[in-house]
Amino acid sequence: MAPAQGRATDGQWGWCNKMALIVQKFGGTSVGSVDRIRQVAEKVKGFRQRGDDIVVVVSAMSGETNRLIDLAKQIQAEPDARELDVIVSTGEQVTIGLLAMALKAIDVPAVSYTGAQVRIVTDSAFNKARIQKIDDDAIRADLSAGKVVIVAGFQGVDEQGNITTLGRGGSDTTGVALAAALKADECQIYTDVDGVYTTDPRVVESARRLDKITFEEMLEMASLGSKVLQIRSVEFAGKYNVPLRVLHSFKEGPGTLITLEDNASMEQPVISGIAFNRDEAKLTIRGVPDTPGVAFKILGPVSAANIEVDMIVQNVSHDNTTDFTFTVHRNDLRKTEDILRKVASEIGAREVGGDNRIAKVSIVGVGMRSHAGVASKMFEALSRDGINIQMISTSEIKISVVIDEKYLELAVRSLHSAFELDADADADADASGSDHL
């Protein structure tokens, strides 16, 4: 797939009075009822009346995929992966048919396609397939004929003709992949929020919507706990340079544009947002013999059990022993503890401890590349509120810390204020001529 070649926009919202090719993706809540499907149809009609070519990607109606999985589990406790894909892919098939009918009912020509009909070709990893290529000939022919094309998200077909699905949130990936294949001007992700915020507004009331954020920043925020976009879709968009815009399904507004870093606006805020994750657990294996290869002896069995490790800290050796600490998803705590107890016995470590009352808080921003003292400012803000840091991890554009879970919301509010991300701080900065996002 070649990189998307977007046309110039007016910089805010709208398309410079030029016809555009737009891929729009609507999630399960956006198409959760017949009334909502009709609302989506009206929104799509508005874009068509403006002259845009529209490809719509939809998820199954809210709750439908879970219902289908539950049905499968009533037959098999661990459903056969191939047959499960056959079952759950029907959810999107219902939605595309209903939306096509809703558009035709308001005099908008439309046609629906399953992933197999479009030939979204994937590998054969059932339940978690990856897209390999897309045959866009039929879509282009329908667009040329003036039709809105509706494609089932989340699904494809392998080279043997088997139905496959892309995993949870896969409709976002379908939308971005189609936008890349079609060289669309923009891929619009419609959801139940009106954009990407500096942090969760439910935690910080003064959090504000970002007009723009880079692929790198969004990828970090998605991986660190932000649930706005699926990680794979952001990776795909960055790889093929597909401009993404997050919008509210039923409210007007510019949303948030996710795009490449703009060198012309490098003097942007140091920090763009604060992400957090409550689904963390910490494990420590103490009194580990400080010998070469010991880290592999600890983490090798964990990896072999398909458990993802996040942050890792190894203490300075004392009396030829060390303490080794790392984090995993909270759901994997007990399983990992069992593995570590066996490892500890084999390598002669003293004890194993686990803690599921922790949380991870992260600051993210490409501006960190050109500003010193970001870490010290973060640590100072947490210190003022008496919040102890248990672990630290850094990259070029993010700093993450592990803290006691009971201090999570306090930490987020403190950092949001310290880095001047509050909405009122932004208004003050605008009044003084600042270049805040």
Is residue 52 domain-resident? yes
Is the pLDDT confidence value at 426 over 70? no
* Overall size of the chain counted in residues: 437
Share of the chain above pLDDT 90, in %: 70
Is the pLDDT confidence value at 365 over 80? yes
Task: Tell whether residue 28 is among the known ligand binding residues.
Answer: yes
- The Cα 342–Cα 348 span in angstroms is 10
- The Cα 420–Cα 426 span in angstroms is 7
What contacts 278, CB < 8 A, 6 or more positions away? 225, 330, 359, 405, 408
Is residue 159 domain-resident? yes
- The Cα 396–Cα 369 span in angstroms is 6
Q: For 383-422, give one letter per residue: b (16+ CB within 10 A) or e.
A: eeeebeebbebeeebbbbbbbebebbbebbbbbbebbbbb
Of all residues in the chain, what percent are helix, strand and coil, respectively (each to 5)? 40, 25, 35
Dihedral sign, Cα of residue 110, residue 114, residue 119, residue 125: positive
Q: Identify the pLDDT of residue 431.
A: 39
Q: Where are the beta strands (DSSP E) in 135-199?
A: 148-152, 155-157, 163-165, 186-191
Task: Tell whether residue 83 is among the known ligand binding residues.
Answer: no
Which of helix, strand or coil describes residue 287?
strand
Q: CB–CB of 192/29 below 8 Å?
A: yes
Give the H/E segment covering residue 90: helix 90-105
Task: Tell whether residue 191 is among the known ligand binding residues.
Answer: yes
Q: CB–CB of 382/411 below 8 Å?
A: yes
Task: Tell whether residue 27 is among the known ligand binding residues.
Answer: yes
207-263 residue pLDDT tens = 999 999 998 888 888 877 667 787 888 888 888 999 999 999 888 899 999 988 665
68-105 residue pLDDT tens = 999 999 999 999 999 999 999 999 999 999 999 999 99
CA 17 from centre of chain: 31
Task: Tell whether residue 65 is among the known ligand binding residues.
Answer: yes
Which of helix, strand or coil describes residue 57?
strand
- The Cα 20–Cα 364 span in angstroms is 32
- The Cα 57–Cα 189 span in angstroms is 9
Amino acid at 392: I
Residue 9 CB neighbour total at 10 angstroms: 17
Q: How confident is the model at residue 9 (pLDDT cuts 50, 70, 90)?
A: very low
How high does pLDDT run on average in the chain? 88
* Cut 0.75: pTM above it: yes
369-418 residue pLDDT tens = 878 889 999 999 999 999 999 999 998 899 999 999 999 999 999 999 99
Is the pLDDT confidence value at 12 over 80? no
Report the CATH number that the domain containing residue 30 is assigned in CATH. Answer: 3.40.1160.10
Q: Identify the pLDDT of residue 425.
A: 53
Is residue 116 domain-resident? yes
Is the pLDDT confidence value at 145 over 90? yes
Is the pLDDT confidence value at 434 over 60? no
Task: Tell whether residue 202 is among the known ligand binding residues.
Answer: yes
Task: Tell whether residue 234 is among the known ligand binding residues.
Answer: no
Q: Identify the pLDDT of residue 372.
A: 83
Is residue 254 domain-resident? no
Task: Tell whether residue 119 is among the known ligand binding residues.
Answer: no
Structural domain range at position 152: 20-191
- The Cα 124–Cα 128 span in angstroms is 9
Q: Identify the pLDDT of residue 346.
A: 94
- The Cα 24–Cα 55 span in angstroms is 6
Q: Which strands sit side by side in the sheet containing 391-395, from one edge to the other?
A: 309-314, 321-329, 273-289, 351-364, 398-404, 391-395
Is residue 200 domain-resident? no
Q: Identify the pLDDT of residue 342.
A: 96
Is residue 406 domain-resident? no
Task: Tell whether residue 246 is among the known ligand binding residues.
Answer: no
Domains of the chain: total: 1
Is residue 263 domain-resident? no
148-158 residue pLDDT tens = 999 999 999 99
Is residue 121 domain-resident? yes
Task: Tell whether residue 325 is among the known ligand binding residues.
Answer: no
